[in-house]
Amino acid sequence: MKILVCIKQVPDSSETLELNPSTGWITYNPFTVFRMNRFDEYALEEALQLREQDPGTSVHALSVGPERVSSTLRRAMEMGSDCGVHLLMQQDEYISPVTVASAIASYARTRGYDLIITGVMAEDDMACMTGQLVAAILDLPSATSVIRVDHRTHDGSLEVDREIEGGTRISLLMDLPAVITVQSGINIPRYPSLSNVLRARSQPLELVRIEDLDIVPVRESCSGVKSPDSSIQGVYIDGTLREKALWLKELLHERAFLP
């Protein structure tokens, strides 16, 4: 089986982000640390486990973004992906999910992947749609929020459970090729092994410029980013640590939560 894992690089914490008044978009300051989207770590781990069960399998990690995303692709190779594919896109402002998805679809279209896996969402913009868009553009079946995967080698299909509201699961049997997006908790992502770290150090990434791919025209734009309306925030409790603790104790008695 040939598997493509789509990985997004995200800022480690939203606390280092700032609004850039001139571009109206979010900028990263020098203290911003980037890492792999956690949901995509689960996607990569699932691909690596499928390879362990079926040794003929290859796992390719792909990411779309500026130069800095190469560090996250290295991390994917350190975890065990056979190679890293960097779809280089310089734009660091609002990027439409359809741009990212059509870049991935354009790259994958002629390369014969049996399975494309990605995380259920990105932690930063939580759009929950890149995987589904890739599937729709390539006209492949897809399943979202997958919590169990079983590759049935006897008939080449994929059995998955998708998680819906309240933890209920729907079992599906899918023809391959297909796209799945995985939910957190499906596995425990591994740490890099020393041999993979050494391999990743010397192995070059495959670099593809986004201009050389077939990109669907954008269908929406971002007209601005704002801090949320502070009027809908709760009451912040002032004082020292102990004063706040005493205030909360008082509240709990007042509202009769404590005798």
Partner 1 sequence: MDREAFIVAELQQGRITQETLELVSFARGYAGGRLPAVLLTGRNIGEQAAELSEKTGCAIYQIQGDHLEVYSLEAYCAAIAEVVSERPSALVILPHSSMGSDLAPRLAVKMEAACITAVETVQGKTFIRSVCSGRYTAEIVPIAQSVVITVLPGACPPHTPESCPPGPITKVQATPRPGRTRILGIKEPLHRDSAVKEAEVIVSAGRGVGKKENLSLIRELAAFFPHSAVGASRPLCDMGWLEYGRQIGSTGQTVTPKLYIACGISGAIQHVAGIRGAQLVVAINTDPEAAIFRISHFCIVEDLTTFIPVLLEELKKG
Residue numbers 211-250 binding partner 1 by CB under 8 A: 218-228, 232-237, 241-242, 244-246, 248-249
What does the per-residue mask of binding to partner 1 show for 80-119, with x meaning CB under 8 A? --------------x--xx---------------------
The SS3 of residue 232 is helix
202 — phi, psi (to 5°)?
-100, -15
Q: Does 145 bind partner 1 (CB under 8 A)?
A: yes
Output the smallest distance, CB 207 to partner 1, in A: 27
Q: Does 257 bind partner 1 (CB under 8 A)?
A: yes
What does the per-residue mask of binding to partner 1 show for 28-67, with x meaning CB under 8 A? ----------------------------------------
Cα gap 174→127, rounded to integer Å? 24
49 — phi, psi (to 5°)?
-70, -35
Tokens of 55: 């040794």
Among 91, 152, 173, 209, binds partner 1 (CB under 8 A): 173
Tokens of 213: 């791919």
Among 58, 95, 123, 199, binds partner 1 (CB under 8 A): 123
Among 19, 68, 152, 207, binds partner 1 (CB under 8 A): 19
Output the smallest distance, CB 172 to partner 1, in A: 5
Left (φ > 0), alpha (ψ -120 to 50) or beta: where does 126 sit? left
Residue 104 CB neighbour total at 10 angstroms: 27
The partner residues of 87 in beta bridges, in order of sequence, read: 64, 208
Among 164, 193, 206, 212, binds partner 1 (CB under 8 A): 164
Strands (DSSP E) contained in 80-205 are: 83-88, 115-119, 142-152, 157-163, 169-174, 178-182
Cα gap 204→104, rounded to integer Å? 19
Q: Does 137 bind partner 1 (CB under 8 A)?
A: yes
Stretch that binds partner 1, among 44-52, 81-89, 141-149, 190-198 (CB under 8 A): 141-149
Tokens of 50: 């499928």
Q: Does 194 bind partner 1 (CB under 8 A)?
A: no
Q: Does 26 bind partner 1 (CB under 8 A)?
A: yes
Residue 55 or 228: which CB sits closer to partner 1? Answer: 228
Output the smallest distance, CB 12 to partner 1, in A: 12
Tokens of 26: 């979010």
